[in-house]
Structure 1
Amino acid sequence: MAEIDDVLARAADGGRISAEEAELLYTEAPFHTLAEAADISRRRIIGDNIVTYIIDRNINYTNVCVTACKFCAFYRAPKHEEGWDHSMEEILRRCGEAVELGATQVMLQGGHHPEFGVEYYEALFSAVKRDYPDLVIHSIGPSEIAHMSKVSSVGIDESIARIKAAGLDSIAGAGAEMLPERPRKALAPLKEPGEVWLEIMEQAHNQGLESTATMMMGTGETAHERIEHLRMIRDVQDRTGGFRSFIPWTYQPENNHLKGRTQATAIEYLRLLSTARLFFHNVKHLQSSWLTVGKAAGQLSLHMGVDDFGSIMLEENVISSAGARNSSRLSELIELIRTADRIPAQRDTLYERMSIHWTPEDDPQDDRVRSHVSTIVKELQIKPA
């Protein structure tokens, strides 16, 4: 217990702890003591009790994918009767709707389409920037970059440079899943290794494109592998400083080949958040995923070191198609933050605070701003593959 207390105190004060010490905290530290240390760390890093959120829209340009990840309920194989591609006009229409509802960011993501190379993404990003120059494109991930490079037979560095020039502002942490070799091969044997995912992130950071980092937990990975995932991210952050935030989320078990229930309890998820806050002395922001763990656990996470409550996603199809049914209105999300004894504030992609809602009288009032549950799934009535 003395060793745990020493590690907690050192980490809360901003000291660097080892992966072994992080695993000790994750598996053995008393829950409330761990949470308290993480919250001290949050206050030291953030400096106040403001919790941010963002308004954005996840727009999927295709569900056709050759990677066939076992946890994914969204993709369809090439030539599948339920496969589809959105036209550029439809993508731009959805961007326009998002802007009208106050979105500042769009996430353009989709499957690894066998015909979509760098040229496709150049056309996509440049069209969005042409019509909506103020809309931040926080999109795709290293897996898409690896795929487009292969399709177009160009190097990773060239792909990054070209899509950045076309308008990509920021890279999403998509495709991380689990970075350690054993669980990654079990989940996505056709996807690039975790080390390659991180190498692509590092190349992007070196070209001036910052990103987020994510983790999907709950598919049977061990506590050690969860902490190893954090270590791999922190090692890159030591060199680049390009990760703005860390966002863990839980596997959703419907309509995919893994099936079974999520193998991560709410307590495990909350403990992981607190451990991440103490381990990531060099990553400023920590975001919880109320979409996957639910609003109650999401609200509790604000006392576990979290300073960002994620987004009101005007559209989300990928996680929703696997069973995530948690949706929210903007007013409800703000109330969850406020009743957790935090001050809500809308942010942009760079975590700059656009509007701080000091009192309820400051709260925006627009009932149109609400998160959708898998509009595509509803439209197409997608069934288990």
Structure 2
Amino acid sequence: MSNQTEAPASANIDQLMRGVSVPVGHILDKALSDREISPEEAITLFDTQGLDLMALMATADALRQRQVGDRVTYVKVRNINFTNVCYTACKFCEFGRQERDSEAYTFNMDDIVEQAVEAWNWGCTEVCMQGGLNPRLGGNIYLNLIRTLKEVLPDLHIHAFSPFEIQYASQLLRKSPEDVLLELKDAGLGSIPGTAAEILDTEIRQILTKNKLSAEAWVDIIKTAHRIGLRSTSTIMYGHVDAPRHWAAHMALLRDIQRETGGFTEFVPLGFIHQNTRLYAEGLARPGPTGMENIKMHAVARLMLGQDIPNVQVSWVKLGLGMAQMCLQSGANDFGGTLINERISRMAGATTGQYVPPEEFERLILDIGRIPAERTTLYDIRHEGQRHYDASNPQTMREFEPVDAQTSPVPTLQIEV
């Protein structure tokens, strides 16, 4: 085995390797020697069981320690899903609604500003804005949102608008995606989410939705954003009609993009939440990833992507907090965000809640022997180590009680465009 890791980690891995199969041992040794893992080798790792799986987890954890250290980062962020009215009717999504649906909503601009100001007062450094594709809002809504929020909160980082939303604005405004992105950046957009990727495979995407942007369009918009100086996350949605070969090819494509642009801030595996979706109800998908698949996804991501995209994030909304801890010991290093008012996963059937206070993140991070660190969207560290929270300080957000999007009434109001 390679001797490049810390001595205790290397000793543990060497012990595990005594019972590991030869093919898996060869791949893990390549990873520990900082050599590239091919998609074919990743498929082999996704099939690991028993001691092979334990060795994969240990190798991913050792590489995590080497590449990013012992910090587990998180960001204070509020989600503003400003409308759930959407014309696309993706089968894997239960968030979108037709305009006449009783659960349809659209926030007006005053509501959105109020939510952003509340987030800033609670100590959030970011708002994440995404919404359905609502035909009544017009193509200028995205630019108007950015301009209005930056006028009120000039120092707030706005992480907003997936490549699908960028394509939609481009079509409505009859402008190129690059022109749309440049206008948004000039208005104050800080970065974009790399969502709407799902699986970057044409066959899979045709099953998930026939009305969404193509894999090629997603790649083109992401590369364009990176080229003009807007960084983005990268994501995968797995555990539906896909298989390990799709996961490996998807990650290889993200790695190629990162080597070309350097624009990804992190990789975020997103397990399919099946409970309320038509995709599952129609018998087209399985009921999401298993626990072992969640662990393998994060571990293989560390081996395939860690040298190029060093930050691997757990989605605690998808995983649950306990499984998130396990993945943080299997290659991941970021806990994601506080996610105040997250609605998209909840509508699909996620049950883990919409908000985790920073002190709970820190408790869970300390529980696995790591160092908690609050970060910005772009991974600048704001504070490292355990804090002693004052319950009387509103910036701890202890007073916050998230609205339950499934049971509480939501105002149906028109955004001024």
TM-score by length of 1: 0.93
Distance across 1 between alignment mates of 2:399 and 2:294: 25
Query: Which piece of structure 1 moves more, 335-344 or 115-124?
Result: 115-124
Is the 1:99–1:135 Cα contact (8 Å) retained in structure 2?
Answer: yes
Distance 1:262 1:380, change over 3 A: farther
In the alignment, structure 1 residue 331 sits paired with structure 2 residue 351: no
1:163-199 Cα deviation digits (max 9, x unpaired): 1111111011221112111221111211011121111
TM-superposed deviation, 1:256: 2.3
TM-superposed deviation, 1:118: 4.1
Is the 1:117–1:147 Cα contact (8 Å) retained in structure 2?
Answer: no
Q: 1:12 aligns with which of 23, 32, 36?
A: 32
Matches within 5 A, 1:1-385: 1-28=21-48, 30-46=52-68, 48-259=69-280, 262-280=287-305, 281-327=307-353, 328-357=356-385, 359=386, 362-366=387-391, 368-369=397-398, 375-380=404-409
Is the 1:145–1:160 Cα contact (8 Å) retained in structure 2?
Answer: yes
Distance across 2 between alignment mates of 1:368 and 1:289: 20
Show structure 2 runs of 5+ residues with no match.
1-20, 412-417
Show structure 1 runs of 5+ residues with no match.
none
Is the 1:217–1:264 Cα contact (8 Å) retained in structure 2?
Answer: yes
TM-superposed deviation, 1:381: 8.4
Distance 1:140 1:35, change over 3 A: same
TM-superposed deviation, 1:160: 0.9
TM-superposed deviation, 1:369: 4.3
Distance across 2 between alignment mates of 1:369 and 1:317: 20
Residue type of the alignment partner of 2:342: E
Q: Which is greater in Rg?
A: 2
Query: Which piece of structure 1 moves more, 62-71 or 255-264?
Result: 255-264
Is the 1:125–1:168 Cα contact (8 Å) retained in structure 2?
Answer: yes
TM-superposed deviation, 1:255: 2.7
Distance across 2 between alignment mates of 1:3 and 1:283: 25
Distance 1:237 1:126, change over 3 A: same
Is the 2:275–2:287 Cα contact (8 Å) retained in structure 1?
Answer: no
TM-score by length of 2: 0.86
Distance across 1 between alignment mates of 2:45 and 2:97: 40
Residue type of the alignment partner of 1:255: N
1:332-377 Cα deviation digits (max 9, x unpaired): 22111100111111111111111112x4xx3434563488666333
TM-superposed deviation, 1:278: 0.4
Distance across 2 between alignment mates of 1:254 and 1:371: 27
Residue type of the alignment partner of 1:5: G
Distance 1:35 1:62, change over 3 A: same
- In structure 1, the residue matched to 2:10 is none
Distance 1:229 1:147, change over 3 A: same
Q: Secondary structure at the match of 1:245?
A: strand
Is the 2:274–2:288 Cα contact (8 Å) retained in structure 1?
Answer: no
Q: Secondary structure at the match of 1:34?
A: helix
Is the 1:291–1:324 Cα contact (8 Å) retained in structure 2?
Answer: yes
Distance across 1 between alignment mates of 2:374 and 2:400: 15
Is the 1:245–1:284 Cα contact (8 Å) retained in structure 2?
Answer: yes
TM-superposed deviation, 1:91: 0.1
